[in-house]
Structure 1
């Protein structure tokens, strides 16, 4: 998770969101990091990723931050930092939390009142994971692949995961992110 400094907006227009996603695609490919889920909120970002190497996520986020801040500062005639310090992360050491994290991330716009449902929010991975609409960025986790025999069946099973409650895990996820602790 990475938050805009002083909780300020880090995306002001659609082109900002598109630029960030393009940079995320480029840097995740360069550092061999699989992106499973993401959401770009007006003042912060959540990414669920699986690195090929131990330092891949840190290096990806550092390069992504540099690329996007350079773009944003030029596009909006500003200088200085955009992010509130280093990104925060938490390892997921339990399969039971994996889909809870997918839901936590992709339901963020609904909780924030930016969308009525996850499918209505354009700047997340929900459409790729739940509606079988590939976006060129999201990759399938082995757990997502186990949801069904076809992509359509997997997407339908994934949608059903969103019908179940998530509140019980939400606070645990928030605490793990805030303190940098693994979810076990």
Structure 2
């Protein structure tokens, strides 16, 4: 089956995941991570993409961002990928590719599910065994939204401002969400959606997005088509 083109919707949040080729590390030390964040900030500014959240692991990174036009997300990822690989290879005396094929992305409804994505990202270092809790991992945007530090390259999503009437109230409310975590089923749903390149949101949002994009934005119903004897995956 032909792969659907990547879904990219201007002025709508996108959750992005990119991994190292064959599971290899893409960050070998803190200097690599600091360089990546500088290049990310430059590329976001150049391509008019608003960066909301990020997390850097050893072998992958996740971003939550909003492109200003249809091609902005691809331009950002291309510029970031080229510049970082060049600098990484020079720093570590290597050559060749670093990334595992195409990056994965999903369009996210700017609703409660967007905050779920942020929580899921913040807890990625915990799931990977890199930190005991989200606050203990310095290479994510968690500290910004939990009130531990500031970061000028981040643009809080609109929904962030509804968490409280003061910065302290918003930070405390967000920290509580991260501490509570997400149910396992919700975590699995977020990862499946991202892996498949589908959109994430409620029924009305997905229906409107399908009309706008002129393509499916969610998986089809499981089972074989009526009148076909071909087994699934056969």
Which band: TM-score by shorter chain? over 0.9
CA contact (8 A) 2:62 2:121 kept: yes
Pair 1:176 & 2:193 matched: yes
Q: CA deviation at 1:132?
A: 4.9
TM-score (norm 2): 0.76
Measure the CA separation in 2 of the matches of 1:136 and 1:94.
Answer: 21
Unaligned runs of 5+ in 2: 1-16, 202-234
* 1-structure distance, mates of 2:173, 2:185: 20
Alignment partner of 1:143 out of 159, 170, 184: 159
2:67 equivalent among 38, 44, 51 = 51
2:104 matches 1:93: no
The match for 1:79 among 78, 92, 95 is 95
* Correspondence 1:131 to 2:152: no
Q: Any runs of at least 4 consecutive aligned residues in structure 1 with deviations exceeding 2 A, and if so which?
A: none
CA RMSD of aligned residues (A): 1.2
Aligned to 1:11: 27
Larger deviation, residues 39-48 vs 139-148:
139-148
- In structure 1, what is the Cα distance between the partners aligned to 2:79 and 2:127? 30
Q: Which string of whole-angstrom CA distances, capped at 9 and with x for unpartnered residues, describes residues 48-86 of structure 1?
A: 111111211111011000010010010011111100011
Q: How many positions carry a matched residue from both structures?
A: 184
Per-residue deviation at 1:96? 2.7
Question: CA distance change for structure 1 residues 94 and 148 in 2, over 3 Å: closer, same or farther?
Answer: closer
Tell me by how many angstroms 1:125 deviates: 0.3
